[in-house]
Structure 1
Amino acid sequence: GEVAELAACAARLCRTHAAREATLARERDALAQILDRMAEGVMVVDRDGRVERTNPSLDRLLELRPSAEPVGAGRWSREAAGASPAGDPFVELGEACATQNVARVRAHESAHGSVWLRRSGPSPTATEPHSTPGEATGSHAVQLACSRAMTTGAVQEALLTTAAGRTLVVTAAPAGGGAVVVFHDITEMHRALEVRRDFVANASHELKTPVAAILGAAETLTGGGLADSAVAARFTATIHRHAQRLAHLIDDLLAISRLEAGTPVERRPVAIGEVVAEVCGLLEESFCGAGVALTCHIDANLAPWRGDRRAVEEILTNLLDNARGYTPAGGAVEVRLAATDHGVALRVRDTGIGIAAEHLDRIFERFYRVDPARSRAAGGTGLGLALVKHLTDALGGKVAVASEVGVGTTFTVELPYGEERPS
């Protein structure tokens, strides 16, 4: 009777509860998988500022070492009784942010990188911050964004620079009394914007110089200079020289634009050794005039190569122009073409002034000049190395540079055969 009905009811409740538990478990597993596979770093913070959960992408973005401790034990938010461990950078940062000690925050960032993870210590919301997230920097900004999201109930954003130099947008959204913090890596986009700004500024400067020279010469001629044949000849030559420079500049820009748009290069049989020898022969006189010795070494047993003859000529010409411009009189430039397992390697080594390490990552950018004054005195459009990089990429190869200030620079261009290597 009643006992049987009660037992049946209890059994139904148990089955319903078990089904709901199974459903919740599946949902938790699905959410965990989504979280773990996200490219963005995610951190869940409780109402007391303790880290409840993170995902692998956060470890990667902030370059944190994985811990064997479960999150509940305080993976990055230990709440052990007693004083904080002396010298713990996260504790030091938490205390500095909580007390709004900007000097200590910046000192911490200088030593450890701008990495913020909430640790034990006074609550950052105990006192009203004297600055907004947008006005603060690094880890201080993230601390303020998280605390303001929790106290105001509004989404907050901050910029974070990691110790490795990556730029992250950090979005803190209120959730369950705490906050969900998402770290989005915008390093490449940030870098692209910087390159674009530099390109516009440098291109404007490169265009301004010849245009100013042409205008000045034209004004002199129209102001009576044509009456003197010697003056007219000199200023006409100036106009012609700078007009040629503008034409070369436009041609190089158009060539780079076509390569960036994916315009394919030719794939024809090329006697690449002969091409290298011809380019060196054509430029030998200009090297003699600069007082720089030019030597060329070509392997005798080069296998047939398929590619774009014009591209190889452009690559070598630009590398040699660059070497001549940065090698003082009495120096030397060596060109060497050798076979590799997968193609050929073209190496241009000079005994010039060299390039400082901080410039090596940017020398293939359009208009980037290590020494603007010397570069412009040496001539050229400022696009030579950028064109080398784009042409090499279009041929499926790669270019590398090694340099030491005061010793010299070596550029190495590796080009694949363009088809199965002949036997």
Structure 2
Amino acid sequence: MAAASQEHERLRRWRLVLGADGAEGTGHPLTGRDAAMDGALTSLYGGGRPGGRGGSERSAGLGASAPSAARWLGDIRTYFPVPVVQVMQRDAIDRLGLSALLLEPEMLEAVEPDVHLVGTLLSLGKAMPETTRETARAVVRKVTEDLERRLAARTRAVLTGALDRSARTRRPRRPDIDWDRTIRANLKNYVPLPGRGGAGTVIPERLIGFGRSGRSVEKEVILCVDQSGSMASSVVHASVFGAVLASMRSLATRLVVFDTSVVDLTDQLDDPVDVLFGTRLGGGTDINRALAYCQSRITRPADTVVVLISDLHEGGIKDEMVRRAAAMKASGVQFVALLALSDDGAPSYDHEHAAAMGALGVPAFACTPDLFPEVMAAAIARRPLPVPDGGV
């Protein structure tokens, strides 16, 4: 009986994978919930899965109206786990051209919010009518709040540690000595005093002091973010991290986004949703112009970290972009180049410009949101960056 049950389950799974047109060999009919799941898959991928070619057959399954698409979105949320739903939503938007339907409030209420959906909504920009805008903001807010819950506490903890270490000095003046840390660091040098009943003293071979601003030294961080269409996920994550960094009093954080123009969104950093709706995904890219703006805002190069988040496909003056990055680094700025800030896998990027950054001593690599706190901590402490495999 067990073997028969296992064989039945195997055929059932193959039937769902292959779809109706490719499943004759299984001899396994679908009923009930399985039939409904198959219908949802067929609407998107066609009857002959995998591959699902034949666009007219697929699109007919969802129809061209928001209500029918919204019903389909509700169905897949019933039948599949959230990660699968998010993948299917992305496929529906890409393969079936459903972006226009996202302008309808009932569609937005039916979707499962994720980073890619936020990127799609932001790319619609001014085409979004007022009737949809508030619903879209609610979707974006849910995603950013989920990201902040996942990333904020660890980011603050890692960076606070890096800032504390950066703030200490080993040759402090007497008023700047941190006696608590100094005593703990020198306990191995405890010497008992004769005739004092076990009392003794600690010889402070190594003094630890506070930094120039008391218990922490302020660092300046500039996030310079490419808002071309391919960088949508990176823009979403950068806005959340920008808000987290801005909430730390020991950091002065600036957020700059750019395409062929440059926009400073620093005054909106208290709300990632406002930041995201202040961006304009798509268009060209002028990295040199963006770096020139960032360079003009640097007042303390030795205490400044500039994080350029871009695929380095430059539409401006290419040689000037590299020269400007070199000048910033030579002035003492800690310069970081991230080809992406997302979980999307290996990005497409300009290999020549990435190699040029590497030649300046600026590793260019894709960074996941989970790795970003360590990257920032290393940059603040001026340690080697934790470059993953595949970095340039």
TM-score by length of 1: 0.28
Q: Which structure has more strand as a fraction of its residues?
A: 1
Q: Which has the larger radius of gyration?
A: 1
